[in-house]
């Protein structure tokens, strides 16, 4: 007697996998965009601000550009104790975070934002460090 699966048994397994994936995949599809937005919020609320605050403590002011967190290219060569970031801060959609110091919204510090998935400024999916 030979052991193995029959064609009907294999077809049944394929059909079951197809039905399960048809139910699960649509539920997970929207989660990737949520995860990207959450990653951007975390970057904007904790990891990049920590690096900016360390830079400010060492030099007495916030950098002119985010690149100053990685390379000693600012005017504060003597006080710079970085690098404060290992790599260029890129948002989850592959774009550079928007940084301005002093900020228009946070006039005593800086504005930090991402244009979100649509890549357009001032839309509902933007992630910012200020509340309007």
Distances from the Cα of 42 to the Cαs of 49, 86, 103, in angstroms? 10, 17, 19
What was the pLDDT predicted at 111?
A: 94
CB-based contact 84:55 (threshold 8 Å): yes
What was the pLDDT predicted at 114?
A: 94
What was the pLDDT predicted at 99?
A: 95
What was the pLDDT predicted at 3?
A: 76
Q: Nearest to residue 99, comparing CAs of 132, 131, 69?
A: 69
CB-based contact 127:44 (threshold 8 Å): yes
pLDDT tens figures, 65-78: 998 888 877 666 67
φ, ψ dihedrals at 128, nearest 5°: -130, 165
Domains of the chain (ranges; CATH) run 37-128 (3.30.700.10)
Question: What does the DSSP 8-state code read for residue 90?
Answer: B
> Roughly what angle, to the nearest 10 degrees, separates helices 7-29 and 31-42?
40
pLDDT tens figures, 7-63: 888 888 888 888 887 777 766 666 788 888 899 999 998 889 999 999 988 888 899
pLDDT tens figures, 100-130: 999 999 988 999 999 988 888 888 889 999 8
């Amino acid at each position: 007697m030979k052991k193995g699966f029959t064609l009907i048994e294999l077809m049944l397994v394929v059909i079951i996998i197809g039905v399960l994936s048809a139910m699960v995949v649509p539920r997970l599809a929207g989660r990737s965009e949520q995860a990207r937005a959450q990653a951007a919020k975390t970057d904007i609320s904790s990891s990049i601000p920590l690096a900016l605050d360390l830079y400010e403590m060492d030099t007495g002011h916030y950098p002119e550009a985010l690149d100053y967190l990685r390379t000693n290219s600012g005017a504060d060569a003597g006080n710079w104790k970085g690098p404060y970031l290992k790599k260029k801060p890129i948002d989850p959609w592959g774009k550079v975070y928007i940084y301005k110091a002093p900020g228009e919204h946070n006039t005593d510090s800086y504005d930090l934002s991402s244009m979100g998935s649509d890549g357009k400024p001032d839309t509902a999916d933007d992630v910012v460090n200020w509340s309007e």
